[in-house]
Structure 1
Amino acid sequence: MTLVAAVGACAPLQPQSIAPPRHQGLSADRASLTVNHVGSPTPDALADRRPYSTPTFPFLPGEDVSASVSVGNTSRGFIANALPVPPNPALHSMPKAYEREMTYGTRALIDTLQFAAEQVASQRDGALLYLGHIAQDGGGNIKWSVSHNNGRDADLSFYTTNPFGWTVQEPEFLHIGRDLVSREHFGFYRFDVPLNAKLLKALDDYQGSELQYVFVVNHLRRRLMAYLAEDGTDEAQMTRLNLLVRQPGGRTLPHNDHFHVRVYCDPDDLCKGCIDTGKTWDWVEERQSAVEQCAIPIADLALSGEDSDVRADAIRRLGLLDDETQHDLIAAALRDDEVAVRVAAVEALAMANKRAATYEIIAHDAVEEVPEVRCAIARTLGSIHRSYASEHLALMLHDDLSCPEFGQPETTVADATPPLALIVAQALENSESTATVPALIERLSDDRPVVRAVAAASLQKITNRRMRVGETAEALDWGSEQLDPDLQSQAVRAWREWYDDNKGERRSKWLISGFESEGFSIGSLSRDSLPKLVKAIKGPTFISFNAQRSLQRLTGQVPNADLNWTSTEASAFWRHYVHKRRDSASRD
């Protein structure tokens, strides 16, 4: 059955135009700028050192495939065709940001920053805006923040003066107290109220984007707002800035060492899957209805496109739009004749990360016969951190089939492709679902070392322990080709006995017991245990994983959500975080 037959034909319509921001685009031509700086390398130099894999984006026929696109939201998103900050005499990237390759963004954000920096520089000789983190090439999760994922966030240093009143640039982000001087360097640097106020005004003045927030600590915000009012800022702009400029709430650090700027999704990006979260100010046009109109021609392409790959990309685009009005069309694509379209439908439904959509994927797995689609189901369910997704993955762990790379001939031999059990075991690695333990234990008896190794790693992370057997009481190397069958049987039996004895306990008790078994006495999973959990990051892989996840839950901070950093990097971050919170609380 085709998708057209499943949901009916839909007449093509042109998307409703989304109104541009309040202002029109910046006309300044920066192509002739040739200034270089250690913190602001040329784009060519940056291109030579990009270590990140650039995410693919489903551009459709007629679209500019080279355009930068902000996709998803600021904490769960990415950037297609991310742009590096170009050389500019008015702003430079801080050396640390450059070293971390956090100097990429979307066209709208980068132009906003350049415009604002140039406006300030035109009013004060020597004024230089230092940029901290923006995003990495391709965006996505980073090691230092929960946001900065899709190229719409930027950390900006403060403009400062020295004791003689001369404009000088901070060597790094410095904490500014209520007396307006830096806590570091014996108070050498003073917060320049007039210049920082001009920066806020310039950010709001820029004509090519809409500012959503500027985060900064309250005692600096009050000084800035007072200056702007006394400086004759017009009433409409004062109203906007009084709302835009704010200290972040919750457990977020107060931002007494930098500005955090965020812009709304560019109108074009809204039709490509950019999602605004947080407050929509009264002066910003409501856009959801226009996004729904954007979906109509894409839906028509998904229904009636002649090329199956184009139809598949159209389905993915509908998933990125997060438009509930298109849910039925995407779900119907699960029954399409083309494998590529069914795979795209699985991925698009998973993007919604909603219970109903997940259950549709699970239900389809019961009737799907093509390995490529079933393997796509396993991969996507692994990205949905919900118990019902993990429980179905545990059922899939019993299936023995191979996962050919999509597009490969059907004759691909099983040994040349990963088994479904391996894909599922990997997908369960971050699930933290106790219901998956029995199925993972059974896979420890698998005759394929790689399946055993991955199943053991997932099992250890979920239970926060490793099973020691034999005379030396050593943990087994489950990936070894020479694994002793007797020790293997003993370990599997020990795991079963442990689970039978502990399956009625809460996972929090498993975590505490597991920490203690490896020499880390946590006591309880509370904020009082933060320093002890930081020490546990240096433990074995599964201990480090659960220590970091516990720190995230207790603090509300999710740096590097993928945990793809070293234990040394993670330990340094969390030590700094705990110290900074304690230090900040004592100051403010």
Structure 2
Amino acid sequence: MHPTPPLIAALLIAACAGERPPTPPAGAHALAALDLTALRLLPAVAVAAPPVTADAVPAFDRPFADLAPGTSASIGTTRDGYLVGGVPLPTSGPLAARPLSVRRDAVYATPTLVRALGRAAERVDRAWPGSVLWAGDASAAGGGDLPGHASHNSGRDVDLAFYRRGADGRLADIPTLTAFGGDLRAAAGLRFDAARNWALVAALLEDPEVEVQWIFVASYLRDAMLDEARATAARPELIEQASQVLAQPSDSSPHAEHFHVRIYCGAEERLAGCLDARPFHPWAHRRDADLDRFVDGLLPFLDHGWSDELEWAITRLVRMNATSASDRLRRLTSDPDPRVAALATDAVDFLTGRRTPAAWARWRAPEGVLED
């Protein structure tokens, strides 16, 4: 059971009661204090990527002012988005950032992802003392494009070195990535530690704070971990989840030297404009009903708002890919305020797939799997 967040409930009550929104404070974006910023709306019905045009609206590109102070959020997609309030991975302990990634300044992620990685690494270390989970590239401090990656833009992706053993059977966790072959062996006698790597996967899938969408890894390493899961009598439901989450990418390297973990957007992040790509695993919380209620509660602001409130509401609807709002937004394309009219026109064109202002690309709902 996932209750509607209090801020959403407050908005719905006000909207259903027909109340006019309060006058915005001078110099502030309308209703910014509500910070209704995060829940991807209905990505499955979002239009296919329309052609990009040059008439960008800069405010859509990096709307930091719309987020409450201290907020951390993954914004947009893993390919075109960015990261607000990211935190760095630790550099020592059971979870440690690889020195190369530290030098690249590519060790930032959402706090929820960093906490989940820490819990998983500690769980493995408790079972096998001395284990170290070396984390590679996550995201840059503010997100955005990261050299060498097609994704890793918004703090929800991280590369992880495998747990390894030496030729003598001892733990051999080093920050250098090593590629393993079908025999589960690598150079210098290193062996893929199926037991510890499966324990890591299980810990991430069972974590209460995150929902894992993908763990990209070579198919034969995936098979070795699933064999380990069955041999150790893991729960059938957990094995089924792992069989769907563990996958070899189809359009990048096979990932024979590291895991690539991706988590879904958090509930509050979706209100800020975090966007997931398909697939949505059966156990993942979609919260479609909550999202529909939120948008229904937001629509009355289009009829009763001041200009700043209208701009705020239009922006939120676009960030959530609220295609169902297109007809209501059309009424504002002839608004007496030219800024509102222009923004509404762009929003309608965007949500109906006619065109994408250049700075709005990150708000397009992904069409499919976004890999490495």
Same fold per superposition (TM over 0.5): yes
Q: Which amino acid aligns with 1:190?
A: R
Equivalent residues of 2:212, 2:263 under 8 A apart: yes
Q: Report what 2:149 is aligned to.
A: 145
How many correspondences in the alignment?
312
1:89 paired with 2:93, answer yes
SS in 2 for 1:314: helix
Q: Which amino acid aligns with 2:271?
A: C
* Distance (Å, rounded) in 2 between the aligned partners of 1:264 and 1:291: 16
Shift of the alpha carbon at 1:254? Answer: 1.0
Indicate yes or no: 2:280 matched with 1:280. yes
Q: CA deviation at 1:279?
A: 1.3
Q: 2:136 aligns with which of 132, 152, 157?
A: 132
Check conservation: 1:104, 1:137, Cα contact below 8 A: yes
Cα distance in 2 between the residues matched to 1:57 and 1:343: 22
Q: Distance in 2 between matches of 1:557 and 1:319?
A: 21
Instruction: Report the alpha carbon displacement of residue 558 of structure 1 after superposing the two structures with TM.
Output: 10
CA–CA separation in structure 2 for the residues paired with 1:201 and 1:321: 31
Who is 1:442 aligned against? none
Match of 1:111 in 2: 115
Cα distance in 2 for residues equivalent to 1:114 and 1:322: 33
Amino acid at match of 2:63: T
Higher relative CO (Cα under 8 Å, sequence separation at least 6) belongs to 2
Query: Would the aligned equivalents of 2:151 and 2:370 in 1 still touch at CA under 8 Å?
Result: no
Give, in whole Å, the separation in 2 of the partners of 1:321 and 1:224. 37
Q: Is the 8 A contact 1:56 1:80 kept in 2?
A: no
| CA root-mean-square deviation | 3.0
User: What displacement does 1:127 show?
Assistant: 0.7
Q: Which of 37, 55, 62 pairs up with 1:55?
A: 62
Deviation string, structure 1 residues 317-341 (Cα, Å, up to 9, x no partner) = 1110001111233343333233443
CA distance in 1, matches of 2:359, 2:151: 22
Structure 2: distance between partners of 1:337 and 1:345: 12
SS at match of 1:65: coil
Give yes or no for contact 2:161–2:175 (8 Å, CA) kept in 1.
no
Residue 521 of structure 1 corresponds to none
Residue 265 of structure 1: aligned partner: 265
Identify if the C-alpha distance between structure 1 residues 316 and 176 changes in structure 2 by more than 3 Å, giving closer, same or farther.
Answer: same
TM-score by length of 2: 0.75
CA 127–234 in structure 1, closer or farther in 2 if over 3 Å, else same: same
Note the alpha carbon deviations across 1:5-29, whole angstroms, 9 max, x for none.
xxxxx971599xx9xxxxxxxxxxx
Larger radius of gyration: 1
Alignment of 1:354-365 (within 5 A): 354-355=353-354, 358=355
2:15 is paired with a residue whose SS is coil
Look up the match of 1:204: 205
Equivalent position of 2:24 in the other structure:
none
In the alignment, is residue 69 of structure 1 matched against residue 73 of structure 2?
A: yes
State the alpha-carbon separation in 1 of the partners of residues 243 and 124 from structure 2. Answer: 20
Displacement of 1:164: 2.1
How much does 1:88 deviate? 5.6
* Equivalent-residue separation in structure 1 for 2:14 and 2:265 (angstroms): 28
Residues 58 and 316, structure 1, Cα contact 8 Å, conserved in 2 = no
Judge conservation of contact 1:214–1:262 (CA < 8 Å) in 2.
yes
Superposition deviation, residue 352 in structure 1? 4.2
Report deviation, 1:148. Answer: 1.2
- CA distances 1:417-467 after superposition (whole Å, capped 9, x unpaired): xxxxxxxxxxxxxxxxxxxxxxxxxxxxxxxxxxxxxxxxxxxxxxxxxxx
- Please state whether the residue corresponding to 1:325 is helix, strand or coil: helix
Amino acid at match of 1:290: D
1:172 and 2:147 are equivalent in the alignment: no
Say whether the 8 Å CA contact 2:326–2:351 is kept in structure 1: no
Please list the CA deviations of residues 328-380 of structure 1 after superposition, one character each: whole Å capped at 9, or x if unmatched. Answer: 3334333323344345435645654822xx3xx9xxxxxxxxxxxxxxxxxx3
1:12 maps onto 2:15 in alignment: yes
Cα distance between partner residues in 1 of 2:310 and 2:184: 58
Give the Cα separation in 2 of the matches to 1:178 and 1:96.
27
Note the 1:482-493 alignment, pairs <5 A. Answer: none
Alpha-carbon distance change, 296 to 81 in structure 1, aligned in 2, over 3 angstroms? farther
Query: Counterpart in 1 of 2:237?
Result: 236
Equivalence for 1:48: none
Structure 1, unpaired ranges of 5+: 1-9, 19-53, 362-379, 385-555, 560-588
Match of 1:78 among 79, 82, 103: 82
- Cross-structure match for 1:30: none
The change in CA–CA distance for 1:330 and 1:96 in structure 2 (over 3 A counts) is farther
Tell me, yes or no, if the aligned pair for 1:312 and 1:344 is still in contact at 8 Å.
yes
- Quote the Cα distance in structure 2 between the aligned partners of 1:81 and 1:350: 31
CA positional deviation for 1:135: 1.1
1:68-467 to 2 correspondence within 5 Å? 68-86=72-90, 89-182=93-186, 186-249=187-250, 251-306=251-306, 308-345=307-344, 348-349=347-348, 352=351, 354-355=353-354, 358=355, 380=357
Residue in 2 aligned with 1:493?
none
Q: Which has the higher helix share?
A: 1
Q: In structure 2, give the amino acid aligned to 1:212.
A: Q
SS at match of 2:295: helix
Identity %: 27
Q: Secondary structure at the match of 1:292?
A: helix
Q: Is the 8 A contact 2:265 2:274 kept in 1?
A: yes
* Aligned counterparts of 1:351 and 1:70: Cα–Cα separation in 2: 21
* TM superposition shift of 1:181: 1.9
TM-fit CA distance, 1:223: 0.9
8 Å CA contact 2:105–2:141 kept in 1: the answer is: yes
Question: Displacement of 1:132 after TM fit?
Answer: 1.1
Give 2:184's aligned amino acid. L
How far does residue 166 in structure 1 lie from its aligned partner after superposition?
1.9
Judged with a 3 Å threshold, the aligned counterparts in structure 2 of structure 1 residues 221 and 346 are, in CA distance, closer, same or farther, namely same
> What is the letter of the counterpart of residue 324 of structure 2?
T
Letter in 2 for 1:56: P
Residues 313/66 of structure 1: CA separation in 2 closer, same or farther (3 Å cut): farther
Question: CA offset at residue 66 of structure 1?
Answer: 2.1
Change (3 A) 1:181 1:279: same
Task: Say whether the 8 Å CA contact 2:134–2:175 is kept in structure 1.
Answer: no
1:197 CA drift (Å): 0.9
**What is aligned with 2:53?**
none
173 and 13 in structure 1: CA distance in 2 versus 1, 3 angstrom threshold: farther
Taking the aligned partners of 1:305 and 1:174, their CA distance within structure 2 comes to 58
Q: Structure 2 CA distance, aligned partners of 1:382 and 1:226?
A: 46
